[in-house]
Structure 1
Amino acid sequence: MGRDSVRGVLPGVALLAVLGIVARELGRATPFSPFVVAIVAGVAVAAAVDLPGWIRAGVDQYKLLLETGIVLLGAGLTVTQLVDTGPVVIVLAAGVVVFGVVLGESIGRVAGVEPTTRSLLSAGASVCGVSAVLAVAGSISADEADITYAAGTVLLFDAATLLVFPTVGVALGLPDPVYGVWAGLSLFSTGPAAAVGFAVSDVAGQWATVTKLVRNAFIGVLAVGYAVHHATAGGERPGPKEVWYRFPKFLLGFLGVVVIANAGLLDAGARASLSTASDWLFTVAFVGLGMDLNPRRLRATGVTPIAVVLAQFLLVTGVAYLAVTVLL
């Protein structure tokens, strides 16, 4: 990033940082998680004012901050944790992706949702939210209207689950690791999955994030699968380079930090520092996430896709709940 680019994002990043500091202080002074306070602050600001372009450019960097926080989160995980639960999480994540896509396509077909929109909704709900919507949209040449429709629906559910999921999880009395895996299997986007996990505890947040990252890893496979499915006589099918382009590369950074931390290259102090940095990055990023959930951006969402995705979400979440309570 050049010097001019850095200057261009500084005002927005500074706004995120200031609100992040406020969220951390309120989190210390009240029973509320600073992550939840950060999201609420972001939603409130975005709903109250239209952010000018010179602010928006920096606010949009929250995605990079979130990914960096996820990478650093690897310092707090041990190989024992991954070995004990990892294979089960991978199987569960793969099952949720396959089940979610098939279910979303089937319900959408019955409801009469147009095939392209149906595919975008199924991808977004089954893998990684708006990122999956955009990845699959590029694979099947979806138009802007379809993308906006699907993305708006996904954002609506991101906002709703941020409020509801932690309350339901606490009421069910699940152990923190089990709740975290369930959240990672159920929520659409990485940010909300991490947020609802950390809203309960650090352990729940770690497992929600790890589980969600496993689901995210299927994005390249899904993009190729949909490209083949929607291919026409004159269409092009993406090759290995396209799969690599769409693969969430911060997942590799996360795994790299896990390896470094467990190889003994980081002492306890360094791991604690990285964990603290990760917490701060999450707090600041969640302010931006809240701004991205601006209610005014969700008004174009129609009733039919909401009903389709709601049915898919409830069924997938219910099956995932049964699976985690039996297997974990």
Structure 2
Amino acid sequence: MIYIVFSLFFALVLFIGNAAASIFLGIIFALIIKPDKSFVSLTIGTTPLQIGIVILGATISLPYAWSVSANYLPWISLFVLGSFFTGLVLGKILGIHHRIAFLLSAGAAICGGTAMAAVAPIIKAKPQELLIAMTIVFLLNALAIIFFPIIGGYLEMTNFQFGAWSALAIHDTSSVIGSALTYSNESAQVAATLKLGRTIWIIPLILITNWVINHQAETTKFPRFILFFILAIILNTALNFDDQVLDLLKIASQFFLMLGLFCIGTQFKVQELKSISGKPLILALILWIMVIPSAYWLVMYL
């Protein structure tokens, strides 16, 4: 019975075809059904979303990726470093435990949950600390998927500008794509390409953090789907897919992206909200409030 309800909810997701609706229908499903840990949407996690992002890569060519990212890479690097160290300083000012401040700063600067999960074992973060940071970022990402497209429309941003803004200002890759996809397919392509520039910073973050804390080198746990995303771009460039193939790839990508966002929504738990204390949430909000207009200024005026 639970799988029938799940299928009906997902059919509604596909009918609406909106990223924000996908994640919130997932939340409604979770609140009504309360699926246990063995349920399919909880066991597959973000896998459908990662598949959708990889397929999206197959609709992008290397010349396009270069034209989009060439002017932004130095600024993305400066943006990442500025966000990360600002978060650490704010955490110290607010008196937040250094591990939680580090997790939130890494998530805000680079790629949300992926960055936090990667550095958590290195800084010896406790499960509860990671849970708090993940829940805060989840809430902010959900807000971004809803309100960023509305703000972008109000400010009359072009597809390119909105995609770039989403890539810089939103934490998780999934939410970056979800927000941009709500705006337009072109915005999603721009966002996916530029988000890569932030995500690759996970490599030096892991290496430097591990060296400083443990004084030893460690193999970097770089997200594999990002590597497949790059390979998909190379494949499209090499084979030069025609319009029919590209249209099919876009449909497949959107299907998996919607499924992934819906599955993320089904992982919502009310009890996790109760574990959030005020100061970490204040840190995340202040940092995000600083990042959003900074990213907008960078996109619009540089």
The normalised TM-score by structure 2 is: 0.92
User: Once structures 1 and 2 are overlaid, which stretch shifts more, 263-272 or 44-53?
Assistant: 263-272
CA 1:149 to 1:199, structure 2 compared with 1: closer, same or farther past 3 Å? same
CA 1:217 to 1:287, structure 2 compared with 1: closer, same or farther past 3 Å? same
RMSD after superposition: 2.0
Shift of 1:161: 2.0
Report if aligned partners of 1:100, 1:312 keep a CA contact under 8 Å in 2.
Answer: yes
CA 1:228 to 1:236, structure 2 compared with 1: closer, same or farther past 3 Å? closer
The normalised TM-score by structure 1 is: 0.85
Alpha-carbon distance in structure 1 between the residues aligned to 2:73 and 2:115: 18
Report if aligned partners of 1:121, 1:309 keep a CA contact under 8 Å in 2.
Answer: yes
User: Once structures 1 and 2 are overlaid, which stretch shifts more, 295-304 or 169-178?
Assistant: 295-304
CA 1:17 to 1:74, structure 2 compared with 1: closer, same or farther past 3 Å? farther
Shift of 1:83: 2.3
Alpha-carbon distance in structure 2 between the residues aligned to 1:17 and 1:214: 36
Write out aligned runs for 1:3-42 (5 A): 18-25=8-15, 27=16, 33-42=17-26
CA 1:157 to 1:36, structure 2 compared with 1: closer, same or farther past 3 Å? closer
Aligned to 2:79: 96
Aligned to 1:52: 36
Structure 2 unaligned segments of length 5 or more: list them. none
Report if aligned partners of 1:62, 1:284 keep a CA contact under 8 Å in 2.
Answer: no
Shift of 1:122: 0.7
Name the aligned partner's letter for residue 191 of structure 2. A
Structure 1 unaligned segments of length 5 or more: list them. 1-10, 28-32
Q: Which residue of the other structure, out of 153, 165, 168, is the alignment partner of 2:148?
A: 165
CA 1:298 to 1:238, structure 2 compared with 1: closer, same or farther past 3 Å? farther
Shift of 1:260: 1.5
Task: Give CA-to-partner distance per residue, 1:252-302, whole Å, 9 cap, x none.
Answer: 211111111122353332222122111111111110122234444222111
User: Once structures 1 and 2 are overlaid, which stretch shifts more, 40-49 or 84-93?
Assistant: 84-93
User: Once structures 1 and 2 are overlaid, which stretch shifts more, 107-116 or 80-89?
Assistant: 80-89
Report if aligned partners of 1:79, 1:262 keep a CA contact under 8 Å in 2.
Answer: yes
| Greater RCO (CA < 8 Å, at least 6 residues apart) | 2
Q: How many residues are aligned here?
A: 301
Name the aligned partner's letter for residue 30 of structure 2. A
Alpha-carbon distance in structure 2 between the residues aligned to 1:54 and 1:118: 32
Task: Give CA-to-partner distance per residue, 1:187-219, whole Å, 9 cap, x none.
Answer: 111111111111111111222222223212211
Runs of 4+ in structure 1 over 4 Å off: 14-18
> SS at 1:113's partner residue?
coil
Aligned to 1:318: 293
